[in-house]
Amino acid sequence: MRVIFDGSFPPEERLLFAEIAASIDRGERLCFLAREAGEAVGFAIVLPLPDVPGVALLDYLAVAEARRGQGLGSALLEALRARLDRPGAVGIILEVEPPHTAQDAAERRRRERRIAFYQRHGIRLLELARPYMMDAYTETGLLEMRLMWWPLGPAGGLPSAELVARCIRSLFVTVYGRSPDDPALREMLGEARM
């Protein structure tokens, strides 16, 4: 799993693997693991947002390079949806890299394919008035990302602007350990209109 993790995400988007494993052991994150012949070939890691009931972050989804394009990512998404779509569930939020910030054409196509993959599963891009900025796990500062939403439960549809703002606050404070008074957070929350 570690090899897949390191090969699938850039350093600025990777929480320390040991921290993820410890979080899974403590029950804070859920791990969906796909194996073949005893070897990990893909995984999904989900973090229920403790201060936004019914909402979880799809923290990581990755498939071994040799197994991509064979339905394994779809199977992982189906498994996590089956587990999370329970009474009280509202939705799953995702952070994805925007194609327009890619360094080259090949990376832009990868990002576009990733977004299209999620959209084929009913996951929708959220249109915010201002760019969403993710806190990087390296010293690079904030990274522009796009937010996506996978509705769960009977209501379906896109989340309200208020729910999006609560999710952004939770991501910044709970996931990234930033202050609730962080200027970047306050700017995003002031502009979290849909």
Q: Which residue has the higher pLDDT, 190 or 121?
A: 121
Q: What is the mean pLDDT of residues 161-174?
A: 92
Q: Are 149 and 179 in contact, with CB atoms under 8 Å apart?
A: no
- As a whole number, mean pLDDT of residues 67-95 equals 91
Q: Give CA–CA dist 189/36, Å, rounded.
A: 43
DSSP string, 79-136: HHHHHH-STT--EEEEEE--GGG-SSHHHHHHHHHHHHHHHHTT-EE---SS-EEEEP
Q: Is the pLDDT at 44 greater than 90, yes or no?
A: yes
Taking residues 183-193, what's their average pLDDT? Answer: 73
Catalogue all structural domains in the chain, each as residue range(s) with its CATH number: 2-190 (3.40.630.30)
pLDDT digits (tens, 9 = 90+) for 52-65: 999 999 998 888 87
The pTM (predicted TM-score) of the whole model is 0.86
Structure-block tokens of residue 107: 């990376």
Q: Does the pLDDT at position 5 exceed 60?
A: no
Closest C-alpha to 89, from 150, 34, 178, 168: 150
Please tell me the distance from the alpha carbon of residue 135 to that of residue 13, in angstroms, as a whole number: 9
Asked whether the predicted pLDDT for residue 2 surpasses 70, the reply is no
Rg (CA), the chain: 16
